[in-house]
Structure 1
Amino acid sequence: MKLTIYFDGQFYAGLVEIETSDCYYAYRHLFGKEPKNEEVLYFVNHELLGLIENKSGSATRSSEVKQRPINPKRLQRLAAKESQKTSLSTKAELALKQSYEEKKKKKQMNKREFMEQQKTHKRQLKIMKRKAKHKGR
């Protein structure tokens, strides 16, 4: 038996997967807002048994569900990739990050242009000094 709690975009839901010798059952339970540990524990202790006894979930034969074993190295890479992902919790944070990136790019462009202007100005001064020396002044 396996219980996975995930956020489906609007609500938190729990996915209960049970694999017996001949069948595979999957049940879905909506928690609503982010569930606390007590709510999950109450669901597991009191409501889960009734959900399983009603057999209201989707069932398939085990012969249809064949999972190949996952290579340990691949599993390790997937775990590392998931842990490195940073999740932004709100649209406001996403907008702030995007504006920060735009400011950063704009600042880099301005700095690059300023440096180019400085180079051309120094070059012009160097040329003027050279001409002044050749005129004998």
Structure 2
Amino acid sequence: MRKREVSSTLTVYHDGQFWVGVVEHVEDGMLSVARVVFGAEPSNEEVYTWVLERWANLHLSTATEPVESRQNRLPGNPKRRAREAAKALHMRGASTASQRALARERERSKDESRSEHAVRSREEALARWERRREKSHRKHRGK
């Protein structure tokens, strides 16, 4: 049986207006992300209950760009690992890879809404034209 590596990280930060959570999910080396807006500053208990109740319903982006595997990294010095963990705790926001993935997801949804709007406007224009033709025919018949 093939071994799979799955990792999920929730980073909560203040973006200047709202408290935002960025979920980074790495499965088989592929990154999927989701952005969640909390609004007011969530307490640890609120974040924990959010994870328990809403994690399964989270809409992740499509899996993109391979992420380096943990197998390629050496375990390293425990003091260095502690420093890296402390540095990661003090970093604001999400990783650049997740920011790029979120930007791609926004662009994709924008393109979808543009195409849906174009189809809808074409259908509405056709319906208006048909109503005008029908009205013209009714007037011509004297009704």
Q: Tell me the TM-score normalized by structure 1.
A: 0.44
Q: Tell me the TM-score normalized by structure 2.
A: 0.42
Structure label with greater radius of gyration: 1
